[in-house]
C-alpha cells in the first residue's frame, strides 16, 4: 500500500486552495505526523476506504461517535426514515423527548437536559449556566483537558492545541480568560490551593473524568473525590465533560465508574456529545433540575439553536443508544478493546519498545513511555518522532489511528477478532522496526 496515494494528494491540493489547511478541523490535517490526510470516500463496519480505494481498519471512528461501526443497519434505517419525514423544523418533536428520556435513564445525575449540536456548544453553555446559577465568574479547568473551542476554555487545552504547540489560541483576549484557573490534572495540592484561595469566587470546575484529549489519562479516585468534595464545600458546580467518555467507557459514562467506587458520587452538570448522536451533529448538557431550570425560557441563562434537537440527528442518537443498551454490549466491547491493548503491549514488549496502554469500555490510549502518564506534562514527554513512525507504519499496513499522539482511540462493536489480530500483527512489525 502506498503511504500517500495520488488520489488523496490531489484532493488535499484542491482542498488547501479553498479550506484553511485543507480541513474543517485542524487535527485532520496530519500536520503533527506529516504526510497526506486520507480523504474518506465511504465507510462500512470497522473500515473506511480512502480516495484511492485503500481500506483501513478505523480506530478513530469519527473521534468516538461510531461505537457501532459505520452504517449499522438499525441506525441507518432510523436515519433514512427520519430524513424522509423532514430534515429540520425549528419546532419541538416527540423524538427530542424520547432521546432526552433515554439519556436521563442511562445517566442518573441528569434530571433534565437540553440538546444542542456540538460538544463545544454544550460545554460553553454549561459554563454559562454554572456562572448564571452561582453568580460567580471563575472556572477551574485542567491542563490538557479540552472542552471545545469556546474562548474561555481555550487555555492550555489538549487535542489539536497540544498538537500544534499552541495550548492557548490566538484571538482570545486575556480579559476573556482572566477568570479561568488552569491547574495540573491529578495534582491534589494545586486543587486544594486553588479552592483555599478562590473558593468563594469559583462558579464551576470542568473536567474530563478520563481525559481523552491528551491521549487517555484517568483522573485518580482520590482526585475525583476531592474535586467533588471541594466543589460541594465551596458552592461550586462540578461539570463533567463526558463528550468522549459518555456512553463510551460505560453505558453510564465515566461517572458511573466513579460512582461505583465513591458512594453517592455524581457531578452537577454533565456535558455529552459524540456517541449520543451516533455520528450526527448532536450534543447535550444536563444535570440537576434546579440548575437546568435556570435556562431560558424558565430562567435567566440564555441558550438557543436553530438545529438544536434536529429530527434526523435525534433519530440517529436514539437508534444508537437502543443498540448499545442491549444486554452484554459493553462487556463484549470492553473485552475486545482489552484484547487489542494486551496484544499491543505484548508486541511492544517483545520488540523491546517502551510502551504503556490503558483502556475502558470502547476507548483506549497508548504511549511510547514505560509508564502511564498522570498529567499533561508527563504526556508531553512522549517521543513525537517515534510516534509518527508508528503512525505511518500502521497506516501503510491499513490501520488508521488518530494522526496525533494526544488523541485517544476507539474500538467499535463492528471490529472483529480478525481485525484486532491484524492490527496487533501490523503493530508487531512496526515495533520491531522501532525497537
Ligand atoms: N476535537 C477532536 C479531537 N479530540 C477532533 C475532531 C475532528 O477533527 O473531527
Give one DSSP letter per residue of 352-401, joined into a string. Answer: T---EEEEETTEEEEESSSS---SHHHHTTS-HHHHHHHHHHHHHTTEE-
| Closest listed residue to residue 362, CA positions, set 47, 56, 66 | 66
Report d(CA 393, CA 375) in Å as an integer: 27
How many residues appear in the chain? 435
| Residue of 63, 162, 164, 212 best suited for mutating to test ligand 1, as the one with most atoms within 8 Å of CB | 63
**CA 302, CA 333: separation in Å to the nearest integer?**
39
Residue 62 CA, closest ligand 1 atom number: 9
**Cell, residue 336:** 475486545
- Whether 374 is a known active-site residue: answer no
Handedness of CA 334, 339, 345, 348 (dihedral sign): negative
Residue 250 has what pLDDT?
Answer: 98
From 245, 292, 243, 248, select the one nearest 271 (Cα to Cα): 243
β-strands 283-287, 112-116: how paired?
antiparallel
SS3 call for 406: coil
Active site residue 400: no
Q: Which is catalytic among the residues 138, 156, 274, 336?
A: 274
Probe residue for ligand 1, chosen from 27, 150, 248, 365 as the CB with the greatest number of ligand atoms within 8 Å: 27
Evaluated on CA atoms 160, 419, 347, 210, the torsion sign reads positive
How confident is the model at residue 173, as a pLDDT?
83
d(CA 104, CA 272): 11
Residue nearest atom 1 in ligand 1 by C-alpha distance: 159
What 357-360 contacts at long range (C-beta under 8 Å, 24+ apart), as own/partner pairs, is 358/216, 358/218, 359/216, 359/334, 360/210, 360/218, 360/245, 360/249, 360/250, 360/254, 360/257, 360/334
pLDDT at 1 (0 to 100): 47
Active site residue 146: yes
CA 322 to chain centre: 20
pLDDT in tens, the chain (435 residues): 455 458 999 999 999 999 999 999 999 999 999 999 999 999 999 999 999 999 999 999 999 999 999 999 999 999 999 999 999 999 999 999 999 999 999 999 999 999 999 999 999 999 999 999 999 999 999 999 999 998 888 877 766 666 555 556 788 888 888 899 999 999 999 999 999 999 999 999 999 999 999 999 999 999 999 999 999 999 999 999 999 999 999 999 999 999 999 999 999 999 999 999 999 999 999 999 999 999 999 999 999 999 999 999 999 999 999 999 999 999 999 999 999 999 999 999 999 999 999 999 999 999 999 999 999 999 999 999 999 999 999 999 999 999 999 999 999 999 999 999 999 999 999 999 997
Ligand 1 first shell, C-beta below 6 A: 25, 27-28, 63, 159, 213, 407
Ligand 1 closest atom vs CA 407? 4
Phi, psi torsion values for 125, nearest 5 degrees: -75, -35
Amino acid at each position: 500500500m502506498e503511504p500517500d496515494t495520488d488520489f488523496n494528494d490531489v484532493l488535499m491540493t484542491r482542498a488547501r486552495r479553498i479550506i484553511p489547511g485543507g480541513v474543517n478541523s485542524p487535527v485532520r490535517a496530519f500536520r503533527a505526523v506529516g504526510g497526506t490526510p486520507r480523504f474518506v470516500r465511504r465507510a462500512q463496519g470497522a473500515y473506511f476506504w480512502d480516495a484511492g480505494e485503500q481500506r483501513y481498519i478505523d480506530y478513530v471512528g469519527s473521534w468516538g461517535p461510531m461505537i457501532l461501526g459505520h452504517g449499522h443497519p438499525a441506525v441507518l434505517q432510523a436515519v433514512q426514515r427520519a430524513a424522509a419525514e423532514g430534515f429540520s423544523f425549528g419546532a419541538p418533536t416527540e423524538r427530542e423527548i424520547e432521546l432526552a428520556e433515554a439519556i436521563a435513564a442511562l445517566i442518573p445525575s441528569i434530571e433534565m437536559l437540553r440538546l444542542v449540536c456540538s460538544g463545544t456548544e454544550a460545554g460553553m453553555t454549561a459554563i454559562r449556566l454554572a456562572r448564571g446559577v452561582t453568580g460567580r465568574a471563575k472556572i477551574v479547568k485542567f491542563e490538557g483537558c479540552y472542552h471545545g473551542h469556546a474562548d474561555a476554555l481555550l487555555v492550555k487545552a489538549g487535542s489539536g492545541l497540544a498538537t500544534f504547540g499552541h495550548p492557548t489560541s490566538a484571538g482570545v483576549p486575556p480579559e476573556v480568560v482572566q477568570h479561568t484557573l488552569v491547574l495540573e490534572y491529578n495534582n491534589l495540592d494545586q486543587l486544594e490551593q486553588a479552592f483555599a484561595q478562590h473558593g468563594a469566587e469559583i462558579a464551576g470546575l470542568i473536567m474530563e473524568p478520563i481525559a481523552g484529549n491528551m491521549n487517555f489519562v484517568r483522573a485518580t479516585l482520590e482526585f475525583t473525590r476531592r474535586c467533588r468534595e471541594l466543589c460541594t464545600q465551596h458552592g461550586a458546580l462540578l461539570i463533567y465533560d463526558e463528550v468522549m467518555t459518555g456512553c463510551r467507557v460505560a453505558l453510564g459514562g465515566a461517572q458511573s465508574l466513579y460512582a461505583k467506587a465513591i458512594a453517592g458520587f455524581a457531578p452537577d452538570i454533565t456535558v455529552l456529545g459524540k456517541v449520543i448522536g451516533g455520528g450526527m451533529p448532536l450534543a447535550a448538557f444536563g444535570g440537576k433540575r434546579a440548575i437546568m431550570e435556570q435556562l431560558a425560557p424558565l430562567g435567566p441563562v440564555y441558550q438557543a439553536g436553530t438545529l438544536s434537537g434536529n429530527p434526523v440527528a435525534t433519530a440517529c442518537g436514539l437508534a444508537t443508544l437502543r443498540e448499545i443498551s442491549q444486554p452484554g454490549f459493553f462487556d463484549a466491547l470492553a473485552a475486545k478493546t482489552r484484547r487489542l491493548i494486551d496484544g499491543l503491549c505484548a508486541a511492544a514488549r517483545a520488540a523491546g519498545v517502551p510502551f504503556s496502554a490503558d483502556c475502558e469500555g470502547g476507548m483506549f490510549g497508548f504511549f511510547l513511555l514505560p509508564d502511564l502518564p498522570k498529567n499533561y506534562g508527563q504526556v508531553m514527554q512522549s517521543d513525537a518522532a517515534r510516534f509518527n513512525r508508528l503512525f505511518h507504519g500502521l497506516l501503510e499496513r491499513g490501520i488508521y489511528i488518530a494522526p496525533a499522539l494526544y488523541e485517544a482511540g476507539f474500538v467499535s462493536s463492528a471490529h472483529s477478532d480478525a481485525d484486532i489480530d491484524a492490527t496487533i500483527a501490523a503493530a508487531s512489525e512496526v515495533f520491531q522496526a522501532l525497537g
